[in-house]
Structure 1
Amino acid sequence: MTVISKNRIKASEFFGGGYNDFLKYKGRYRVLKGSRASKKSKNTALNIIFRMQKYPEANALVVRKVFRTLKDSCFADLKWAIHRIGVDADWEIKESPLEITRISTGQKILFRGLDDPLKITSISVEHGVLCWVWIEEAYEIMKEQDFDILDESIRGSVPDGLFKQITLTFNPWNERHWMKHRFFDDLVGYDSENKPIYKPRKNPLSDDGQILAMTTNYKCNEWLDASDLKVFEDMKKRNPRRYKVAGLGDWGIVEGLVYENWKEQKFTLDDVRGFHTVCGLDFGYTNDPSAFFIGFLDLENKRLYVWDEMYETGLSNRKIYETITGMGYGKETITADSAEPKSIDELRSLGLYIHGAKKGKDSINNGIQWIQDLEIIVHPCCVNFLTEISNYMWKSDRFGKKLNEPIDDFNHLMDAMRYALEQYILGNGWIY
């Protein structure tokens, strides 16, 4: 059995500064919004492993909205945490099914997606009790009811010394998200239409002691080097709005959304059978993701069904090809960003049916205007599309006046969607 020696390891050496209250808190809801590079995911992973080493009857559940996104995020962070603490010999890591087990005690870390609610509500463990839940990228959960289902499934008594707790970590892109009112605000009354009135809570701890809602940012990450810090300083100058959220961890203020004609709703391939398949690709690499969009257009009823997505940084053209074909879309016709003809040629030589978008003067605004006339149905698995469409805004001038130009942010899948629909925009006589 591997035991962490208190003399050998100090927790502070692993977590760094800014997280003392977060690590000590034992109430029901531990909510952490933070900027990029704020250590929130890594520290949560470390905290779970430290706790499970300390409490041999405790088991943990790790959740994201879509199960397939867990392997390269939370699962990878927990593997990293086990290795960083130096307890590899006492942990068994499986990828099929996705599961981490402490060998000496039988404790488990289970992984689930909210895209399969039955598996969420029927979780059980063989040894000890399930008492801790970590919801990563909690912003992806657009419906508060989905969270309630998970919350209600963590119930029952626990042995002395243990406690039930749900930890939510996320980037605060949108101040309209239900998590703001639920965890960061206080209800202070109702207006004349009986709508609730909220004000931001001054204290991170709620009055009843059951919520700790914190904000951290990159400034508490002492392990960033000069080049890492320069990324944020450049962001501060180039894109102040993004810096406020991605740099400082403040709530994103959403006014003047480009698209408000959408809703999140499950549908099946049977529901869209006979509609036009539309695919678009926007290229990225280091900082921006390569974004692949696939949907189905019901032209008669002016309805677009958003079915699937690819959204990854660091992809070579060959990897883009392998990913798209691996998703099952290797035979579909794809319209891509024509600014990268070399990439299009390479993907075509690899076997994709791909061509460049025509673009032209006012193509972005004309494409947006055409798409605004559609009803957009977004499948819940398209978490990156949901994030972008709920944050894709019109630019403002220095006086706050909205301009007839979208921001150059949250636009990778938005551009890919526009490319995918180009033939129909052109076919309907639009100047594109």
Structure 2
Amino acid sequence: MIMKEVNPHFEDFVFNWDQTFQFLVGGYGSSKSYHTALKIVLKLLQEKRTALVVREVFETHRDSTFSLFSSIIEELGAQKAVQAVSSPMHIRFSNGSRIIFKGMDNPAKLKSVNNISLIWIEECSEVKYEGFKELIGRLRHPDFKLYMILTTNPVSQANWTYRHFFKDERNKRFILDDETLYEKRIIVIKDTYYHHSTAEDNLFLPKSYIKQLEDMKEYDPDLYRIARKGRFGVNGTRVLPQFEVMEHDEVMKQISFINNPLKRTGMDFGFEESYNAVIRSVIDPDKKVLYIYWEYYKNKMTDDKTAEELKELRDTQELIKADPAEPKSIQYFRQNGFNMAGARKYQGSRLQYTKKIKRFKKIYCSDRCINTIYELQPLTYAADKDGNMKEDQFTIDPHTLSALWYALDDYEVTDLKAEPEVKKRPNRKRRR
């Protein structure tokens, strides 16, 4: 019999083996990794299993997961039953169970792993989505029930962990509102066990550590949300904070109220990894509001197939401003009856186009434009190695933003920061 004190909030998790997938998200120091390692050791002491522990980079195991397992074995006084071997890293149990460590930086080595009935992905947000799906395929055993445990600090809502386990607007998948998890702390949905934790859940943390986390609120709000509150969100500086999603019918209703609506359509070309993106928008020049009401978003499409799918734009003869870097494609569309022209592109145009879009007071996007929402709502600026923001680079390559750049090529939004025009005072005759 092993006696071990655990944090009360993790007691249910340590002994719960009902769900195949167990997703733990929380702030710094919440003890989610510790209790996951403890849970696995206890399970492997009871049953002869092979567990696979995965991180994105193999060498990071040594000072994290492997070190954690070694400490827990010592705390339990189980050195006779469990042996941690540092070279090559693995853990052997006297009953035949074992724990092996792999990194996704060398996926070829995963192919030699067999009869895995339990996988732990530590810092799963750092692992690519394709890697996660590959690991699901590695989870197989003829006799044992299968388990996958995922632990992470929350990151951006653009990360695959959020879109897979909570909400994915692009693919119209809704599993769980993360706010509900923060409120209830533990939730089971079908075959997935959700667990949320913060530093308060770790009774063994010194108060000085919690104070350090609390101090982040003053100098780094993003890190405070992640480390202290353990919540997903948008990391970094948003490019379009005025971007909002609106029901399609309401967007069209608002457009119908505009006195002098300006219609603008833009297209960005792509094929293999990038996308053909077309955006149709309407400007309210009086209120300085932009409405996005229609999108086209596909890749691996030749020009002839794309032209066929966009024949509605050919029939309406609306002007399409397109990426000038693709003159052959523009010429093809023109020869096939489209009213298309190349937009301007010059040194520094990325920055100037982005600044132009940022000058709109509001940007309302139809809820039908799922790819535009996917790219632009959470879009943040990239940073250099020193953490300084790059005003013309982003964390992703947003094709819908490029299409919007071209759509607005010949329109200029009033710069609200510009000095207002001063009215001239009327001339007055001086009395003599």
User: TM-score band (shorter)?
Assistant: 0.5 to 0.7
Q: Determine if the alignment matches structure 1 residue 180 to structure 2 residue 162.
A: yes
Match of 2:35 in 1: 43
In the alignment, the residues of structure 2 paired with residue 42 and residue 165 of structure 1 have an alpha-carbon distance, to the nearest angstrom, of 18
SS at structure 1 position matched to 2:158: coil
Q: Point out where structure 2 has 5 or more consecutive residues left out of the alignment.
A: 240-347, 355-377, 391-432
In the alignment, the residues of structure 1 paired with residue 216 and residue 45 of structure 2 have an alpha-carbon distance, to the nearest angstrom, of 40
TM-score (structure 2 length as normaliser): 0.52
| RMSD between superposed Cα atoms in Å | 3.4
- CA change 1:119–1:413 in 2 (3 A) is farther
Match of 2:98 in 1: 108
- Does structure 1 retain, via aligned residues, the 8 Å contact 2:15–2:39? no
- Does structure 2 retain, via aligned residues, the 8 Å contact 1:61–1:112? yes
SS at structure 1 position matched to 2:24: strand
Match of 2:212 in 1: 231
- Does structure 1 retain, via aligned residues, the 8 Å contact 2:54–2:119? yes
SS at structure 1 position matched to 2:117: strand
Match of 2:269 in 1: none
Match of 1:157 in 2: 142
> Deviation per CA, 1:216-237, whole angstroms, max 9, x where unpaired?
1101111112212211222234
SS at structure 1 position matched to 2:70: helix
Aligned pairs for 1:407-418 (under 5 A) are 414=387
SS at structure 1 position matched to 2:194: strand
SS at structure 2 position matched to 1:155: coil
In the alignment, the residues of structure 2 paired with residue 137 and residue 257 of structure 1 have an alpha-carbon distance, to the nearest angstrom, of 24
In the alignment, the residues of structure 1 paired with residue 11 and residue 79 of structure 2 have an alpha-carbon distance, to the nearest angstrom, of 25
In the alignment, the residues of structure 2 paired with residue 240 and residue 113 of structure 1 have an alpha-carbon distance, to the nearest angstrom, of 31
- For these two proteins, the number of residue pairs brought into alignment is 252
- Does structure 2 retain, via aligned residues, the 8 Å contact 1:392–1:411? no
- Does structure 2 retain, via aligned residues, the 8 Å contact 1:174–1:253? yes
Match of 2:176 in 1: 200
Percent sequence identity is 27
- CA change 1:411–1:86 in 2 (3 A) is farther
In the alignment, the residues of structure 1 paired with residue 104 and residue 238 of structure 2 have an alpha-carbon distance, to the nearest angstrom, of 27
- CA change 1:206–1:45 in 2 (3 A) is closer
How big is the shift at 1:200?
A: 3.3
- Does structure 2 retain, via aligned residues, the 8 Å contact 1:67–1:112? yes
Aligned pairs for 1:51-90 (under 5 A) are 51-55=43-47, 57-90=48-81
- Does structure 2 retain, via aligned residues, the 8 Å contact 1:64–1:137? yes
> Deviation per CA, 1:395-419, whole angstroms, max 9, x where unpaired?
xxxxxxxxxxx9xxx876646x9xx
> Deviation per CA, 1:259-318, whole angstroms, max 9, x where unpaired?
xxxxxxxxxxxxxxxxxxxxxxxxxxxxxxxxxxxxxxxxxxxxxxxxxxxxxxxxxxxx
Match of 2:124 in 1: 138
How big is the shift at 1:78?
A: 0.6
> Deviation per CA, 1:318-346, whole angstroms, max 9, x where unpaired?
xxxxxxxxxxxxxxxxxxxxxxxxxxxxx
> Deviation per CA, 1:41-92, whole angstroms, max 9, x where unpaired?
111111111111122x122111011111111111111101111111122222
- CA change 1:18–1:206 in 2 (3 A) is closer
In the alignment, the residues of structure 1 paired with residue 219 and residue 35 of structure 2 have an alpha-carbon distance, to the nearest angstrom, of 29
- Does structure 2 retain, via aligned residues, the 8 Å contact 1:30–1:168? yes
Aligned pairs for 1:218-257 (under 5 A) are 218-254=199-235, 256=237
Match of 2:195 in 1: 214
Match of 2:367 in 1: none
> Deviation per CA, 1:99-153, whole angstroms, max 9, x where unpaired?
1111x222211011112222213213xxxx53111111111113x2211111111
In the alignment, the residues of structure 1 paired with residue 237 and residue 386 of structure 2 have an alpha-carbon distance, to the nearest angstrom, of 19
- Does structure 2 retain, via aligned residues, the 8 Å contact 1:183–1:213? no
Match of 1:28 among 9, 16, 20: 20
Aligned pairs for 1:386-405 (under 5 A) are none
Q: Determine if the alignment matches structure 1 residue 93 to structure 2 residue 101.
A: no
- Does structure 1 retain, via aligned residues, the 8 Å contact 2:22–2:148? yes
SS at structure 1 position matched to 2:116: strand
Q: Which amino acid aligns with 1:178?
A: W
- Does structure 2 retain, via aligned residues, the 8 Å contact 1:63–1:135? yes
Q: Which amino acid aligns with 1:86?
A: G
In the alignment, the residues of structure 1 paired with residue 122 and residue 133 of structure 2 have an alpha-carbon distance, to the nearest angstrom, of 16
